[in-house]
Homo-oligomer: A and B are copies of this chain.
Amino acid sequence: MPRETLTKDQIIRTAVDLLDDEGLEGLNMRSLGKRLGTVATAVYWHVKNKDDLVLLAGDRVWQEIELPDLAAVDWRTAATRMATGLHAMLARHPWLVQAFGSYVFYGPGKSRYDDHSLAVYEAGGFAGAEADRAAGAVFTFVLGNAMGTAAMASLTRRLGRGGGNPGELLRDVMAKATEIAMPFPRLRSRLIAPGEYGEAPEGTFEHGLQALLDGLEARLAARRVATGRSTTPAEN
């Protein structure tokens, strides 16, 4: 039996697990080494450095997203599935959202997603740069939406780390936020009657996404009328 040896793939998988559990700030080479049953420096044989590892881990998770079959569903359904698939992936891996601010991801996993995303909008009749802009706008919206979740996840982890009751600490933070919002009438009314406004965040995401797609579709229709093209999307 050959010596138990590390593989790059195993390292990346373990890094993803660790990132899911501990967040971006919780990933460090020593605890990664421990989780792999070895030491931090062993990892450096397989991976250039920590940044490289984050890039690798941050590209792998894109493979989890299922790409809709464009022959089977209409473009709008496909676009919605692409967006919600990304949304769900980012919710599973909030550290990726954090990393997005500090790293430029351009690996095969993200390329696969991006390419299919363009395919969806082209199938919808968006041509060339129009497809780019539409895909970019939706991507942007989903990403921005995930930031709130990521920040919240990071906060609860932070509170958990410092000893003490996390629930209680969270209540303290909420109380302080309420106090700060008091001088502002609209924020205050929402804090006082949260039941009236507070809504499943998912509903907000879905609503915003459909509004954006409506807007994009309307611009597409307007363009078609102006150029006298048929309303049937181009065959692909």
Contacts and interface: CB of A to CB of B under 8 A. Distances in A.
Contacts of A99: 101
A211 B215 contact: yes
Contacts of A180: 106-108, 111
A146 to B, nearest CB: 8
A102 B107 contact: no
Nearest to A203: B133
B111 A181 contact: yes
Interface of A: 24-25, 51, 94, 97-104, 106-108, 111-112, 114-115, 118-119, 122, 128-129, 132-133, 136-137, 139-145, 147-148, 150-152, 154-155, 158, 173, 176-177, 180-181, 183-187, 190, 196-197, 199, 204, 207-208, 210-216, 218-219
Given A101-B154, A137-B211, 4 more contacts: A106-B177, A137-B141, A141-B208, A214-B215
